[in-house]
Amino acid sequence: MASGGPFRLRLRLTLLVLYAFWISLAHAVSGQEPLKSVPEQRGYNAGEGIPVSCLNRTIETGEHITDASGQLQYIPFPTCNETGRPLELFFGIEKDINCTIDFISDPFFHLLEFYIHSDAPLTCRIPSKPLPPSALAHDLLALDTTSQEGALGTQSTLYTPLIIALAGTLQLSHLHVGNSLNLLVHAAPRSLSPGTVDAAAAYSVSSHTRNARVTIGDSLTLQFAVRWYPSITLPPGWSGYGGHVYKSTFLYCLLSAGASAAVCIAYFRGVELPRRLKRYAREKMNGGGRLVGGGGYGLPVANGNGARGYGGYGYGVGKKD
């Protein structure tokens, strides 16, 4: 019995150590939290609103403004009188959007001078995809604080630049702003990144003829013709001044020629031919002649000349005096 005591004691100690090890291992496994998967940012749905914000600039020099942390400040686009909200686009929706800025303040008037003279561009941006809740709350807060993380900040990958190239003419007392603009937006290919904005740009067209005269205190209506492209390439649209022959052009010419020929034939057979036949018959009858069959050939022979038919051919013989 004495010899068996130490062995049993060592066995019990070994079992206690193993039990404690398994208990601690079970607690460690049960207390470990599973890894949290980062949710993938969703893309836009068709027709979903896309807010537009623009770089904040000083009216003295047109330089951009940064916040205390050195990040660029973006502020919402001026409020549109039509909607009571800053300018916004709608994913995949092509339409003309009017944005009337109800009152041109003195600071904004001087900024327009910078934009038109190209001393400083009207630099805007739109979210490439719907903003996550944290960034969205930050943007909503920016409505009051006018401070946002800009293109050089941590949210640079969340936005797509939108440069609005305003054209016009500077005068001493007023401005002529080219207020008719084309706004082009490229969406990333659906197979690669559905619902994602890839690129955007806007520019004035026909600024010498389609513009608005603006002074301080006036309103300004910007007319945006928004067009979307489902890829990063532009479709071909230039065919040169001479143009090319397309299938549609050839078919149009063919149909036009056929219609013209049908009209001409109908007019000739229904109007011109009967009129000519009537005129021909009237002239023969007024000449005092009568139509005489010529031996089955139906050749008319007039009276008066007494022409004798050739033997066997049966030509009529005119009346003799």
C-alpha 197/C-alpha 162 separation (Å) is: 11
Residue 132 has pLDDT above 70, yes or no: yes
Most confident region among 17-21, 32-36, 37-41, 243-247 by mean pLDDT: 17-21
What is the tally of structural domains in the chain? 2
Residue 41 has pLDDT above 90, yes or no: no
Whether residue 148 sits in one domain with residue 58: yes
Residue 38 has pLDDT above 70, yes or no: no
Q: Model confidence over 75-128: pLDDT tens digits?
A: 999 999 999 999 999 999 999 999 999 999 999 999 999 899 878 889 999 999
**Residue range 143-156: mean pLDDT, rounded:** 45
Whether residue 185 sits in one domain with residue 311: no
Residue 223 in contact with residue 96, Cβ under 8 Å? yes
310: left (phi over 0), alpha (psi -120 to 50) or beta: beta
C-alpha 150/C-alpha 55 separation (Å) is: 8
Whether residue 305 sits in one domain with residue 218: no
Would you say residue 244 lies in a domain? no
Would you say residue 174 lies in a domain? yes
User: Domain ends where: 212, 229, 246?
Assistant: 229
pTM for the structure as a whole: 0.59
Would you say residue 267 lies in a domain? no
Query: What is the predicted pLDDT for the residue at 135?
Result: 57
Whether residue 290 sits in one domain with residue 154: no
Start-end of H helices in the chain: 4-31, 106-117, 133-145, 247-267, 273-286
Whether residue 105 sits in one domain with residue 190: yes
Whether residue 218 sits in one domain with residue 70: yes
Query: What is the predicted pLDDT for the residue at 54?
Result: 93
What is the domain extent for residue 179? 49-229
Would you say residue 216 lies in a domain? yes
Query: What is the predicted pLDDT for the residue at 156?
Result: 67
Whether residue 144 sits in one domain with residue 78: yes
Whether residue 213 sits in one domain with residue 103: yes
Would you say residue 240 lies in a domain? no
Would you say residue 191 lies in a domain? yes
**Residue range 136-148: mean pLDDT, rounded:** 44
Whether residue 204 sits in one domain with residue 117: yes
194 vs 240, residue with greater confidence: 194
